Structures are given as C-alpha cells and as structure tokens.
Amino acid sequence: MWRRGTRGPSAYIPVSQITGPYVGDNIAAVMGLHPDYLHVFWKTQHQLLRMDGALSLPERHYVAIMASARHQCTYLVSLHSSCFLQVGGDPRWLEGFDAAPLKLRKLNDLNKILAHRPWLINKEHIEILLSSQGGHSWSLAELIHALLLLTHFHALSSFILGCGIYLSEDNNAVPRPPSPDIPLNEGCSKLQEAERVLAEIKKLDEEGEETSQEEMETRFEREKRECAMVPTNGDNSKAVCFPGILHFLEDPGFGYIDFTRRGEQAPPTFRAHDYTWEDHGYSLLQRLNPEVGQLLDDKFQVAFNLTYHTCATHSGVDTSKLRRAIWNYIQCIYGIRYDDYDYGEVNQLLERSLKVYMKTVTCHPERVTRLLYNDFWRQFKHSEKVHLNFLLLEARLQAALLYCLRAITRFMT
Ligand SMILES: CC(C)C[C@H](N)C(=O)O
C-alpha cells in the first residue's frame, strides 16, 4: 500500500487517493484506480512488448522510445531505455538515431506524422517503407507491429503527462521544466459545474426534436473550427527539450497544427461511417495481427463503456452522453466526424477549461501543468479525472489507428 506522507505516483493526485497495491509501478498505481481497465491495458501492452511478434524485443523498446520522445515523455524514454538494455539491445543505439539501423530511422517520418497530424498519412508513406531498396525494407507484419507500438506509446505519453505521473524512484527522476500557465478566468462558477452538467444531460434527454442532416454537418464543422481555436496551455512558448530526449527527436518543431496562426487549416473531415473501427479497422487488423486486434477492440470497449453511474458527488447518473461527448471531441480534434452524432452536445456538456485541458493532453501533453489539471471539474474526484484520461488515451489511439489502417487498406487495394 502507498503510505501517506510519502511521494505518491503522481504530481497531481494526492497519495491518500491511491488505493491499489502497485507500489513501484506508477502507471499501474494510477490506472489501478480502475482495475477493469488496468487489466485489459496490461494484456495489450504485454502482447505488444513481450509475446510473439514480427519485431525483435530490442526493436520494440526502441520504437517505444522513439514514440515517447515525440511528446518528451521522459518517463517512457527512460523506462524503455532500461528495458532495451535488459533485452540485449545495443547500447550504442541509445546514443541517438545516428547509431540506430537505417531501417528504424526510416520510421521517423511516420512517427512524427502519426504523433501530431495523423490525417496526413497516405498510402505512399506505407509504400515507401514496404518497398525500400537495399535490404532495409519492412515486411507488412513488421510495419503493423511498429505502427501499433507507435500509436500505443503516443497515447500512453498523453496519459502519463495528463495525470502527472512521476518516474519511479529507481529510474533517475529528472523534474520536468515547468511550462507557463495561461490564465483561465472562469472563477468560482466552476463549483456548480457538476450540477450544470447534470442539468444539461437532463435537457438533452428531454429534447425530442430531430435535427436535419445539413444542420448536423454544420454543427460538426463549427465545432471543428472552434476546437481549432481552443488554446492549449503555453501556446506561444518554445518547446523546452530535455537533453536525454533531443537525440531521439528529429524535427522537434513539428507538432499538432497551431490553428491560431493565420492560414492554417483545420484537418480535413474524416467520415467515421465510411471507415469505421468495427467494420474496417478492426477487421483489417484481425487479418494482419489478430491477437492485438482483439485486445485493442476489448480495450476500446472497456474504456468507452466504463461507468460507475456517478458524476462528482451525485450517484445514479447515466453519464453516457458526457462520455460520448468527450470521446467525440477528441476525435473531432483530428477531423473525425460521426454522421449520427449531434456535435451541439459537445458544447453543452464540455465547458471551456475542460476543453483546454483535453486538447492540451491530447495534442501537447508536455505542456500539461498542475494548474491546468486542477482548473476543470473542481468538484469531481481524482479517479474521475483518471477515467477521463482513459477516454482521451483511447479516443486518440483509435483516431490515429483509423488513419493508418485506412492508408494500409488503400495501399492494399
Ligand atoms: C469521467 C466521469 C465523469 C465518469 C463518471 N464518474 C461515471 O461513472 O460514468
């Protein structure tokens, strides 16, 4: 058990809130607030890193390092550097990309796009890797394995930084440089926000009127534009990089598009009904990597359906509309639209400081601060904020997978 008075696993969550037995594994300690999720998360990660797979064990950890470096997640870079050495990886690769085999360096472009602007992925990216000359080409099975690892670790970086998870003591913790906070002047109105959310859910349940298709589309486009204008924490600050991370980063300035700059366009719309996870993404993965495909599907479902029917101090609440709004808002950030969803609900259910936090965790997790974490859902429990972070992790992961699996489908047909 975690002892009070000691440093807990997270900079944002008091140690008294951490109830599970996972001392020494800070991710598990935080995720363990929701054992059903932790269980399926662990199984998936174990499959990706330890079980049968196309990539060698050192390669898997190296891909994990590359992915986590995109978000400057020192926790994962440091953890997987140790794992890499434990499974017999060549220490020279850890000096930086230059020392790593060309084959892995070729993943750089995909890593960067997938992490920040997944809508740019197209079949040419896949083609180039699969057909490179000179003995450095990727097999499809290897590439799928690498893509699954990259997306898993991008999303996990969001979770770790979103929850302020510390590096475990034995891993030479380096404090993260603080990022500047933007002022969020919404004051004490926050204290009634649980009641406000409940009232909005009730209103939505009572509204019966049908909205036309055109209006639904307009509402999505409006939300997409608006979400592009939601600032993320420390928007104008230059990225501060850790020395230990820089040498795993190529083109560190490449990030999620900052729409506040003139001339930048919001991502093009991806119609989730034309390429759904269930009918397309999952079934393609079923053919290419059935074990992970199944586990991912389970994990999406556990995350999407997890509920305790509570909302802050209120119980007996149907929170499905709130959870769906969270999921769809994250995917809207990446341009993904569900035809049957009314994006007006996002605005009714998610207030601004929550959106700022969600967008920062998803797009620029390295900029999350305690102030940002504390500034939304003040009445809610820490375990609910962790729950929110599962939704962010999974919605983000699924968005990236939809884009890369669609590119693979296009490549194959
Ligand atoms: C993310 C939270 C608002 C979820 C809520 N506590 C529930 O049990 O559904």
Task: Give me the pLDDT at residue 307, please.
Answer: 98
What is the C-alpha separation between 255 and 2, in angstroms, rounded?
37
- Interval 31-52: pLDDT, tens: 999 999 999 999 999 999 999 9
Residue nearest to atom 9 of ligand 1 (CA): 307
Mean pLDDT of the region 120-143: 88
Query: Between the CA of residue 392 and those of 107, 388, 399, what are the distances in Å?
Result: 25, 6, 11
Residue nearest to atom 7 of ligand 1 (CA): 307
Task: Give me the pLDDT at residue 172, please.
Answer: 45
The Å distance, Cα 321 to ligand 1 centre, comes to 10
Task: Give me the pLDDT at residue 250, please.
Answer: 83
Who contacts 249 (Cβ-Cβ below 8 Å, separation ≥6)? 69, 70, 241
- Interval 238-262: pLDDT, tens: 555 666 787 888 888 888 876 555 5
Alpha helices per DSSP H over 310-351: 320-333, 344-349
* Residue 311 alpha carbon, nearest atom of ligand 1: 6
Question: Which single residue is written with the structure tokens 């809130």?
Answer: 17
- Interval 299-308: pLDDT, tens: 999 999 999 9
Residue nearest to atom 2 of ligand 1 (CA): 384
Ligand 1 pocket, residues with Cβ under 6 angstroms: 307-311, 319, 322, 384, 387-388
Task: Give me the pLDDT at residue 297, please.
Answer: 97
The answer to whether residue 62 scores a pLDDT higher than 60 is yes
Which pLDDT band, with edges at 50, 70 and 90, does 372 fall under? Answer: very high
Closest CA relative to residue 367, chosen from 169, 236, 200, 233 = 233
The Å distance, Cα 306 to ligand 1 centre, comes to 8
Task: Give me the pLDDT at residue 229, please.
Answer: 78
Who contacts 79 (Cβ-Cβ below 8 Å, separation ≥6)? 167, 168, 171
The Å distance, Cα 41 to ligand 1 centre, comes to 19
Task: Give me the pLDDT at residue 193, please.
Answer: 86
Label residue 207 exposed, middle or buried (CB < 10 Å: 0-12, 13-18, 19+): exposed
Mean pLDDT of the region 304-325: 97
The Å distance, Cα 45 to ligand 1 centre, comes to 25
* Residue 320 alpha carbon, nearest atom of ligand 1: 9
Mean pLDDT of the region 126-153: 90
Active site residue 241: no
For the chain, the straight-line distance linking the first and the last C-alpha, in angstroms and rounded, comes to 53
Task: Give me the pLDDT at residue 20, please.
Answer: 80
Taking a C-beta distance cutoff of 8 angstroms, is the pair 93, 99 a contact?
Answer: yes
The Å distance, Cα 315 to ligand 1 centre, comes to 10
Label residue 175 exposed, middle or buried (CB < 10 Å: 0-12, 13-18, 19+): exposed
- Interval 6-40: pLDDT, tens: 788 999 999 999 988 888 899 999 999 999 999 99
Task: Give me the pLDDT at residue 161, please.
Answer: 97
ipTM for the complex shown = 0.98
Q: Hey, what amino acid is at 154?
A: H
Read off the tokens for 293: 């495909």
- Interval 145-194: pLDDT, tens: 999 999 999 999 999 999 999 986 644 444 454 455 555 555 556 668 89
Mean pLDDT of the region 105-121: 95
By three-state DSSP, how is residue 412 classified? helix
Mean pLDDT of the region 119-124: 94
* Residue 312 alpha carbon, nearest atom of ligand 1: 6
What is the C-alpha separation between 162 and 392, in angstroms, rounded?
9
β-strand pairing of 336-337 with 270-271: parallel
What is the C-alpha separation between 324 and 333, in angstroms, rounded?
14
* Residue 385 alpha carbon, nearest atom of ligand 1: 1
Mean pLDDT of the region 321-343: 96
The Å distance, Cα 267 to ligand 1 centre, comes to 29
Mean pLDDT, rounded, of the chain = 89
Ligand 1 pocket, mutate which of 36, 304, 322, 383 (most atoms under 8 A from CB): 322
Read off the tokens for 143: 């590439």
Taking a C-beta distance cutoff of 8 angstroms, is the pair 325, 393 a contact?
Answer: no
Ligand 1 pocket, mutate which of 306, 307, 389 (most atoms under 8 A from CB): 307
* Residue 381 alpha carbon, nearest atom of ligand 1: 6
Which pLDDT band, with edges at 50, 70 and 90, does 209 fall under? Answer: confident
Per annotation, catalytic residue among 73, 163, 227, 404? 73
Which pLDDT band, with edges at 50, 70 and 90, does 217 fall under? Answer: very high
